[in-house]
Structure 1
Amino acid sequence: MRAFRIAYDGRPFYGFQRQLDVPTVEDALLDALETLDVLDPNADPGRGVRPIPPGYAAAGRTDAGVSALAQTVAFEAPEWLTPRALNGELPESIHAWAHADVPKSADTNDGAGASGDFHATHDAIRRRYVYQLYAPDANPELASEALGRIAGEHDFAALTTDDSGTVRTLATEFERAEPYLVLGVSAGGFPRHLVRRIASLVRIVATGERPPSFVDAVLDGSSDPVTDGVPTAAAEPLVLADVAYPDLEFVVDETAATDARAALAERSVRAATRARTIEQVSEGIASGGERSHEGEEQVE
């Protein structure tokens, strides 16, 4: 079994997990594997569900618009299937850049060992997300204090739509990169929307809308985050930055990684250009359109 590190720009997709009638990262991966003839020909996944490779699983499900640096998928792969080979069939928004061969277990009857009991979802011991929170008016010290109150073991039921699995132990990290607050959150697993709700909670405290004690009130249930203005933050600034496994050593495919960086850098330039274009339109509206006529010659 082989595990692949997958990076992607999540903006064009309706999340990672495959769905009917909308583009997803997983569908793009399975399209590539189908073209490479790696899907299990004997699989019968059921009506309306496409076949997958033997042993296939992914580290997690990212929401629509969420990007990834280290999404991890693992399955029984032929020896020739490298990140470069996989990238040859993937769109420019998705790139495999490293791989790890799953160690064979020593407890099989034939003594040869097998890796079929590895599961990319269940065997992950830590996941790390990073959120780029646009907050030019934020106080970094207040942001750091808010994250400090969030760190540790808590019941995060108030910050997720999940009904179970809400008690988690989180590690947090913080960096100020004007005009952003870069929020890092790590745990064994995450309830739905938790990191995006945390981003909203940090913003509210860091901008002075609420005192740091508001974090404690939300966590202990004495404040309702819905009625008290803690929405689910936007998905696009969120990145699945790392997934850790105790027995995997990933090897970077330098050619695949170089190509991935170049392709994603080009997408970044296009995104920045689109942002500047929208900014110009907004500035034009603010000035009543006067700037759009600057420098024009009078024509009779």
Structure 2
Amino acid sequence: MPRYALKIEYHGGPFVGWQRQVDLPSVQGAVEAALAKLEPRAHTIAAAGRTDAGVHALAQVAHCDMEQEWEPFRLSEALNHHLKPNPVAILACARVEDDFHARFSALERRYLFRILSRRAPATHQAGLVWQVKQDLDAEAMQEAARILIGRHDFTTFRSTICQAESPVKTLDRLDVARVETLGGTEFHFDVRARSFLHNQVRSFVGTLERVGASAWSPRDVKTALEARDRAACGPVCPPEGLYLAHVGYPVDPFG
């Protein structure tokens, strides 16, 4: 059966997350239903990351196995037709080797988190950012972020329902940038690692926001990390500002 990689963009608001759930709307379910319109049968696809409810994707990667050969552009166009009106789009499609696996072949996952800082309620950005009313100190947040980079036991920043075998992960990058937009000041968090624990990015950003608001110091973040205790974590921020932005492979399947 020919295998295809799909680069997928979606708005996470209407969904319970990526993973298929019985009688509940999921991104996986929407894509599998579209595939069934093309080849009527049960389809099971695998993705690079199982995003939670409300989390978005700019470039999720999944793979599917088809019974017939499809020209990749034609397959993506047909899927986009059948995905309507869901806020899900196939950005690219590529024929891949049979041993390609969207999850297990990935070398890096990159997340973007957006905080909007302004007093007025968000309108165009509603549901796409985490809005805070106070200004934040980007330099202080970056100083604290450097403490988290590297290989650590991230128990403090791990959900209590996380199913990973070990809390030890290597964080490759956590950059904080202040971005002035027409809609107000945003703070962007660029977070990169081979893999992440459940709620790890949202735990990082919620904690760093406390530093930016001067409620915590960078030293407090170091203390929290070394505590290896979930209770030491700052608040976990909401999912609306989180995006799966990129998945890296040894060879880019989309060229």
Q: Do both share a fold (TM > 0.5)?
A: yes
The one-letter code sitting in structure 2 at the alignment partner of 1:240 is L
- Tell me if structure 2 keeps the 8 A contact 1:225–1:231: no
- Tell me if structure 2 keeps the 8 A contact 1:28–1:91: no
1:159: which partner in 2?
Answer: 157
SS at match of 2:147: helix
- Tell me if structure 2 keeps the 8 A contact 1:70–1:240: yes
The partner residue of 1:189 within 192, 195, 207 is 195
- Tell me if structure 2 keeps the 8 A contact 1:154–1:167: yes
1:21: which partner in 2?
Answer: 23
The one-letter code sitting in structure 1 at the alignment partner of 2:48 is A
Runs (5+) with no aligned partner, structure 1? 40-50, 103-114, 252-300
Residues 160-214 of structure 1: per-residue CA shift (max 9 Å, x gap): 1236332111111221024221001111111100000001111011111011111
Greater strand fraction, Structure 1 or Structure 2: 2
SS at match of 1:88: helix
Q: CA RMSD in A?
A: 1.8
The partner residue of 1:116 within 90, 94, 98 is 98
Aligned residues: 224
SS at match of 2:144: helix
What is the rounded CA distance, in whole Å, between the counterparts of 2:65 and 2:32 in structure 1? 14
> Which residues of 2 match residues 129-168 of structure 1 at below 5 A?
129-135=111-117, 136-161=134-159, 162=162, 164-168=165-169
The partner residue of 2:226 within 208, 211, 220 is 220
1:96: which partner in 2?
Answer: 90
CA drift of 1:99 comes to: 2.0
CA drift of 1:155 comes to: 1.1
1:58: which partner in 2?
Answer: 47
- Tell me if structure 2 keeps the 8 A contact 1:58–1:74: yes
1:128: which partner in 2?
Answer: 110
SS at match of 1:79: coil
CA drift of 1:89 comes to: 0.4
What is the rounded CA distance, in whole Å, between the counterparts of 2:34 and 2:190 in structure 1? 32
CA drift of 1:229 comes to: 6.3
The one-letter code sitting in structure 2 at the alignment partner of 1:204 is R
> Which residues of 2 match residues 228-243 of structure 1 at below 5 A?
230-243=234-247
- Tell me if structure 2 keeps the 8 A contact 1:15–1:61: yes
Residues 93-122 of structure 1: per-residue CA shift (max 9 Å, x gap): 0000112221xxxxxxxxxxxx32221111
SS at match of 2:54: coil
> Which residues of 2 match residues 233-272 of structure 1 at below 5 A?
233-250=237-254
Structure with the bigger RCO (C-alpha within 8 Å, sep 6+) is: 2
What is the rounded CA distance, in whole Å, between the counterparts of 1:156 and 1:229 in structure 2? 10
What is the rounded CA distance, in whole Å, between the counterparts of 1:204 and 1:183 in structure 2? 14
Of 134-143 and 231-240, the range deviating more from structure 2: 134-143
Residues 14-64 of structure 1: per-residue CA shift (max 9 Å, x gap): 10100012111111111101111164xxxxxxxxxxx325xx321110000
Between structure 1 and structure 2, the one with the greater Rg is: 1
What is the rounded CA distance, in whole Å, between the counterparts of 2:216 and 2:62 in structure 1? 41
1:84: which partner in 2?
Answer: 77
What is the rounded CA distance, in whole Å, between the counterparts of 1:72 and 1:8 in structure 2? 11
- Name the TM-score, length of structure 2 as normaliser: 0.82
